């Protein structure tokens, strides 16, 4: 998987993040959509970053495993891992948001929305400046 795959997953992540922003503007009507888009944009960003760092994305159906993989890839390249905590929060909420029996409340939506934005900023910076000094320990 080469540079073109990074672009595919990066483009997908951007589209999902942009859709999340649009839905967030009408949050009361689209609360579940905002939450799901937050989670899925982060998963796509994670795939793009993993491809950039390792040449492949996570193949596991367990997205928690992808968190472990990106943390390991960053540590192997001495890249700061502080943004990964936001991904971990989003992945941890995926099952409840996607398959839970209750409506997603506004507080949860806001927490996931902020986490997605923070992970997006971390991933975007990394995708642009993989070896930039700000990302080195």
In SS3 terms, 34-85 reads as: HHHHHHHHHHHHHHHHHHHHHCCCCCCCCHHHHHHHHHHHHHHCCECCCCHH
Q: Please, is 133 exposed, middle or buried when counting C-beta atoms within 10 Å of its C-beta (0-12, 13-18, 19+)? A: exposed
Q: What number is the average pLDDT over the span 131-135?
A: 40
Instruction: Indicate the CATH number of 3-135 among 3.40.50.300, 1.20.120.330, 3.40.50.10740, 3.10.129.10.
Output: 1.20.120.330
**pLDDT value for 1:** 45
Q: Is the pTM of this model over 0.85?
A: yes
pLDDT digits (tens, 9 = 90+) for 24-78: 988 788 999 999 999 999 999 999 999 999 998 887 777 788 899 999 999 999 9
- pLDDT(102) > 70: yes
State how far the alpha carbon of 95 is from the alpha carbons of 26, 74, 98, 124, in Å: 23, 26, 5, 25
SS3 79: strand
């Amino acid at each position: 998987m080469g540079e073109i795959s990074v672009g595919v997953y990066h483009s997908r992540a951007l589209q999902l993040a942009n859709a999340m922003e649009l839905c967030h503007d009408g949050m009361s009507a689209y609360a579940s959509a905002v939450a799901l888009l937050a989670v899925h944009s982060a998963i796509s960003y994670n795939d793009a970053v993993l491809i950039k760092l390792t040449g492949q994305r996570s193949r596991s159906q367990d997205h928690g495993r992808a968190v472990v993989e990106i943390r390991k890839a960053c540590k192997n390249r001495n890249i700061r891992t502080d943004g990964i905590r936001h991904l971990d929060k989003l992945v941890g909420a995926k099952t409840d948001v996607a398959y839970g029996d209750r409506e997603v409340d506004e507080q949860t939506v806001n927490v996931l929305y902020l986490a997605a934005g923070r992970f997006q900023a971390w991933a975007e910076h990394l995708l642009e400046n993989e070896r930039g000094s700000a990302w080195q320990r």
